[in-house]
Amino acid sequence: MHLATFDDDRLGVVLDDRIVDVSDVVDGTDDTRGTGGGGLGAGRMRRYIADPRPEEVAVAARTRPGRPLAEVTLRAPVPDPRVIVAAPVNYLDHQQEMRESADVGALGFFLKAPSSLLGDGGTVRLPYGDRRFDHEAEIAVVIGRKTRDVCEADALDHVFGYTGLLDITMRGGEDRSIRKSFDTFTPCGPWIATPDELADPADVAFSLTNNGELRQKASTSGLIWGVARFVAYVSTVLTLRPGDILSTGTPAGVSPLLDGDVVSMRADGIGTLTVRVDGSSTTPSPTRGHHSGPTPPPGDRGGAR
């Protein structure tokens, strides 16, 4: 099943080029099972994840006419996660292209601000004109229930679904959580694919194009720490709850973003996430981190910094 958040926090099931509104299935529900992720203050998707009703949703999706996808505005699938956790340097080829001495096993994870989320069709806004900003395509998991100290063998049982994520990144020496948390710097979507939509979560093929040119192509089979291991590790540090997002890292092929770019990430079993880039209203960076930090691969695009 493909589940989306659209328009004004509506919950929908995506069927080919149509979307069926199933918001009423979760309206009035609360987090009554102690899973810690729902509650009436949470958005519909997070409440549904905390208290899923797949049979009711499936019936509604089969019996309602729905609307064309082109007529709705897709939001980030979970617009209000408690945390966004991301894996640094989790593909060997990306470690090599960045000339990083350490990988995820030494670095652990970093956090991204939930306020940086952006939905499919949105616009990434570059804040500074004197810094380099790159795309990083990643597969992310959405946690389905309260998770603490889960073992790797059981970790995938705690995953509600999978989605695409673009970890937009300012290069430099500032802390990762700063360089990756600007508003609009976490495009996510286009929706959540439940595990049954994927042939093998450990081998999800995905790719990224910029203005139609292939830039990144990989599979989760190439992860240094696979999905299950990363979920298990994070759960030893944080108590995870329904709707929390864990992004698993990017492969090689990162490259600069410029004003006017159209970036698309496609993931097998999930879908295609597309955003535009606006760099028309930039200011000088107030920090000097561009003089330090990991060395990205050379930007081969005119005007890239």
Question: Can you give the pLDDT at residue 33?
Answer: 42
* Angstrom distance (rounded) from CA 292 to CA 151: 37
Rounded to the nearest 5 percent, the helix, strand and coil shares of the chain are 25, 30, 45
* Angstrom distance (rounded) from CA 43 to CA 300: 42
Question: Can you give the pLDDT at residue 136?
Answer: 98
Question: Can you give the pLDDT at residue 41?
Answer: 74
pTM: 0.92
Question: Can you give the pLDDT at residue 34?
Answer: 40
User: Helices (DSSP H) in the chain: which residue ranges?
Assistant: 23-26, 44-50, 54-63, 92-97, 104-107, 176-179, 227-235
Q: Which domains are delineated in the chain? A: 2-71 (no CATH), 84-291 (3.90.850.10)
Question: Can you give the pLDDT at residue 27?
Answer: 86
Question: Can you give the pLDDT at residue 291?
Answer: 64
Question: Can you give the pLDDT at residue 35?
Answer: 46
Question: Can you give the pLDDT at residue 303?
Answer: 43
- List all residues 6 or more positions away from 292 whose beta carbon is below 8 Å from its beta carbon: 172, 173
- Residues in the chain predicted with pLDDT less than 50, given as ranges, are 31-35, 302-305
Closest CA relative to residue 111, chosen from 46, 173, 175, 172? 175
